[in-house]
Amino acid sequence: MTPVAYPQAFHPIWTTDKRYVVLWGGGGSGKSNFISRHLVVRAATEKDNRYIVFRKHYRQLRESVFAECCRRVNELGLGNHFVFMLSPMQIVCKTTGSVILFMGLDNQEKVKSTARVSTVWFEEATEFSEDDFWQIDKELSKAETKYPKRYFLSFNPISQQNWVYGAFFAETAERAEFHANALRIKTTYRDNPYLSADAAEFFERAKTLRPRFYAVYGNGEWGTPEDLVVGPLPEVDRIPDAAKLVCYGLDFGFNDPCALVAIYRDDGVYYVKELLYRTQLTVGALADVMKEMQVEQYVPIYFDSSRPEMAAGLRAAGYLAQKANKSVAAGLDALKSHKEAGRLFTLGANVNLNKELAVYAWRKDRDGHILEEPEDGYDHGVDALRYGLFTHLKYSGYGSGLTF
């Protein structure tokens, strides 16, 4: 095995006897990198062990945790000892017989095969529900294993309202025993000497440009609800069958992600579905992806009007691209008032949009007074939603949207 260094903060994990290992904090601190390495090293050295890596959404697995684990196998020089399989998704060590399985919780045939599983990893644990977690805990507790049971959770502390805060951080008498069985390690990008200089600079810049984003993703502080512009939207698992597609919202980006959402309406209630959140797309590539996703050509796409050449490209490809109403305050007000009236829902699978909403905050002046302007920069999905929903409300004569 080729030795590869990792941030020192994670060192205690190799020897801990705690059941729950909670890795939390800012982005880029090496949490995912470490846990994937830990599992690969264990699979290469422990005989006949089984591990499951969970993400809430199956479609996120392949490019995140599965890809990470495959990279770790190669970095550690273990390529000859492992085989990678996509269906079912797993990585098998031929030498030890140990298996790392990858599962999404939205694909229900799954968690039946917990036999002999000793270790699980909930990547982006805040995306799961508390119920998901305890169901799996219950299932695994039944399984007899020769290796100790261990649960990894990794996440950014997006909101104190999230169940993870209640379960692992809120100090209550009933939780005392449970907390005693948890090793919590907080890290930020400053703990990761292997982070690229560019990425570290990105966080440093955010310190003054986007303090709210920085607090959570830079400094790893728990997000609190005050001064959020919209806040997390209530989540549903699927768009109801009766809901009709009314429009799309599109925020162009190249170095920043290009975000495309679809907006559905059923009886005055709106549902948003994230279709795309990707950087480095030219207009030609975007049109191709939209075609692949079967974006409807007769449904309006409300886009950011500061990029007319992109819209021209989409129109040439046959799409009904129309300028969005871009008034920021009124648009955000429409999102917020729909949320408060129980008329706006997001899919749990809208991973990027939901993350943005959880930290999208008003700017503050030097004295801490809230300004009439949101923090810029981590708002691509929110902008796409605002362009789509607000312009739709305006054009369809719903006014502020709440008078129907």
Residues at the interface with ligand ATP (CB under 6 A): 4-7, 27-33, 156, 192, 194-195
Q: Which of residues 28-47 bind Mg ion (CB under 5 A)?
A: 31-32
Continuous segment of H or E residues that includes residue 313:
helix 308-316
Least distance to ligand ATP, CB of residue 274, Å: 18
Contact of residue 380 among ligand ATP, Mg ion, none (CB under 5-8 Å per partner type):
none
Where is 178: in which H helix or E strand? Answer: helix 176-180
Residue 310, H or E segment = helix 308-316
Q: Give the SS3 label for residue 355.
A: helix
The least CB distance from residue 16 to ligand ATP, in Å, is: 18
Closest approach of ligand ATP to the CB of residue 151, in Å? 17
Looking at beta carbons only, is 9 or 275 nearer to Mg ion?
Answer: 9
| Cβ atoms within 10 Å of 361's Cβ, excluding its own | 25
Looking at the Cβ atoms of 103 and 261, the one nearer to Mg ion is 103
Q: What is the nearest approach in angstroms of ligand ATP to the Cβ of residue 25?
A: 7
Question: Of ligand ATP, Mg ion, none, which one does residue 27 interact with (CB within 5 to 8 Å by kind)?
Answer: ligand ATP
Residue 31 vs 273, nearer CB to ligand ATP: 31
In the bound state with ligand ATP, the residue whose beta carbon lies nearer, of 33 and 325, is 33
CB of 219 to ligand ATP, least distance (A): 12
Question: 284: which 2 tokens?
Answer: 């030609």
- Candidates 3-11, 24-32, 168-176, 253-261: pick the segment binding Mg ion (CB under 5 A): 24-32
Q: Can you tell me which residue has the tokens 């993870």?
A: 164
Per-residue CA distances from 237 to 102, 124, 200 (Å) = 21, 17, 35
**Partner whose footprint covers residue 162, from Mg ion, ligand ATP, none (CB < 5 to 8 Å by kind):** none
Using alpha carbons, list the distances in angstroms from residue 328 to 226, 280, 318.
19, 26, 28
The residue among 42 and 386 lying less far from ligand ATP, judged by its C-beta, is 42
Of 33 and 114, nearer to ligand ATP (C-beta) is 33
Please list the helix, strand and coil fractions of the chain in percent, rounded to the nearest 5, in that order.
Answer: 40, 25, 40
Cβ(185)–Cβ(331) under 8 Å?
no
Question: Is residue 352 within the footprint of Mg ion (CB under 5 A)?
Answer: no
- The sign of the dihedral angle between the CA atoms of 332, 334, 339, 343 is negative
Q: Pick what 91 binds: Mg ion, ligand ATP, none; C-beta below 5 to 8 Å, kind-dependent.
A: none
Nearest residue (CB) to Mg ion, 51 versus 264 = 51
Cα 14 from chain centroid? 27
Task: Return the one option of Mg ion, ligand ATP, none that residue 30 interacts with (CB less than 5 to 8 A, by type).
Answer: ligand ATP
- Of 196, 384, 400, 397, nearest to 302 by C-alpha is 384
Among all residues, whose Cβ is closest to Mg ion?
Answer: 32
Shortest separation between residue 159's beta carbon and Mg ion, angstroms:
17
Question: In the complex with ligand ATP, which residue's Cβ is closer, 6 or 84?
Answer: 6
Q: How far is CA 50 from CA 47, 96, 101, 119, 329, in A?
A: 9, 11, 8, 7, 51
* Total interface residues for Mg ion by CB under 5 A: 2
371 binds, among ligand ATP, Mg ion, none (CB under 5 to 8 A by kind): none
**From ligand ATP, Mg ion, none, which one binds at residue 192 (CB under 5 to 8 Å depending on kind)?**
ligand ATP
Q: Taking Cα atoms as reference points, which of 307, 305, 295 lies closest to residue 248?
A: 295
Q: DSSP code of 16?
A: -
Residues found near Mg ion in the complex (CB under 5 A) = 31-32
